[in-house]
Amino acid sequence: MINYGTEMLAVIRDIAPALKSAEGRVAETVLNVPEIVVESTITELAEMARVSEPTVVRFCKKVGLSGYMELRINLAKDLPPEKYRHRMVEEGDTSAQVLDKVFTAGQDAMRSSLSNIDTVMFQNAVEILANAERIDLYGLGGAGIVALDAHHKFFRLGIPCNTYRNAHMQFMSASLLDKKSVVVAISNNGSSKDINESVRIAKSFDATVIGIIGKKKSPLHRICDLTFSLPTQESAWFATMSTRLVQIAILDSLFAAVVIRKYDDVKENLENVKRTLINKNL
């Protein structure tokens, strides 16, 4: 394994002449735009270099790394810290500065994402969810936590609603859907093979799929019916922080808009839930 004190770009320059043509294109891309690679998924790098994802993995192995994430981390260490190491937190920051920077970054991500949301697509997603007879939420890892949070809200509407944070359960769920079902697929980078396969299965049974993704131009983006791509400025070291906030915000907005759209139908369900919680002192 490579030592973290070693300059990653220097290692790549040294080994590039000996690489095969496809792996050489990966090396050329990394050397030309390392600042973009730091913020890109493996799928995006593969597209930029016109190679397959396995080729990117082989390239990482050739330069002594365990995988693509380690490549991004090492590149981040090579690049100017004020711009790429982490856009918020730096070595030497006090606890008060960290608190301020994290909150500010979250606010900036929310404002930036809001300005990029297609309001027509948002309204279409509201209509799809309002007319659904079943809503299944898919997410793995941190995205699974976002899915669970959305389930905590949507199931109160009285629409059958489930959350699946395990790939096998997602596969089984997807195979039981129909044209009246909606899948909300949540993914930080849109490159998870398990999530993408679950979505393909769901679509093969005529379900509608809404994607909530942290990266544009991802494989998941291409196979969903509607997609909210909400990229945020993060580094490989602190991935998903702002992304998670933005994903929760868009799902909260969808929930609130569906409540307004179906208020006469869901009012009693919402009041029953509230009354029960009050009676139980929860």
Give pLDDT, residue 93.
80
pLDDT score for 84: 45
Q: Pairing relation of β-strands 208-213 and 181-187?
A: parallel
Mean pLDDT of the 73-80 span: 80
SS (H, E, C) 132-151: CCEEEEEECCHHHHHHHHHH
Q: Do residues 38 and 236 touch, judged by C-beta distance below 8 A? A: yes
Q: What domains lie within the chain, and their CATH numbers?
A: 8-84 (1.10.10.10), 100-279 (3.40.50.10490)
Q: Sign of the CA dihedral 183, 189, 190, 196?
A: negative
The pLDDT, as a whole number, for residue 1 is 39
- Of the ranges 29-38, 80-89, 251-260, the best mean pLDDT one: 251-260
Asked if residue 149 lies in contact with residue 248, where contact means CB atoms within 8 angstroms, the answer is yes
Mean pLDDT of 112-131: 92
pLDDT at 28 over 90: yes
Q: How confident is the model at residue 85 (pLDDT cuts 50, 70, 90)?
A: very low
pLDDT, mean of residues 47-73: 92
Higher pLDDT, 123 or 274: 123
User: How does pLDDT run across 136-182, given as a tens digit for each residue?
Assistant: 999 998 899 999 999 999 999 999 999 999 999 999 999 999 999 99
What is the arithmetic mean of pLDDT over 36-59?
A: 89
> Containing H/E element for 259?
helix 241-261
Going by C-beta distance under 8 Å and a sequence separation of 6 or more, which residues neighbour residue 152? none
Mean pLDDT of the chain: 87
30 Cβ contact list (under 8 Å, min separation 6): 9, 12, 37, 45, 71, 75
Surface-to-core class of residue 277, CB atoms within 10 Å of its CB (0-12 exposed, 13-18 middle, 19+ buried): exposed
Contact 180, 133 (CB under 8 A): yes
Going by the DSSP 8-state scheme, the letter that residue 156 receives in this structure is G
Position 174 scores a pLDDT of 97
Which of 27-36, 101-110, 196-205, 262-271 is least confident? Answer: 101-110
Mean pLDDT of 255-280: 90
- pTM attached to this predicted model: 0.72
Phi, psi of 234 (to 5 degrees): -140, 165
Which two structure tokens, joined as six digits, stand for 272? Answer: 């029953």
114 has pLDDT over 90: no
Q: What is the structure's pLDDT at 102?
A: 81
- The CA distance from 27 to 203, in Å, is 37
d(CA 129, CA 207): 12
Does the pLDDT at position 86 exceed 50? no
| Beta-carbon contacts of residue 87 (< 8 Å; ≥ 6 apart) | 105, 233, 234, 235
Q: Tell me the two tokens of residue 248.
A: 């929760």
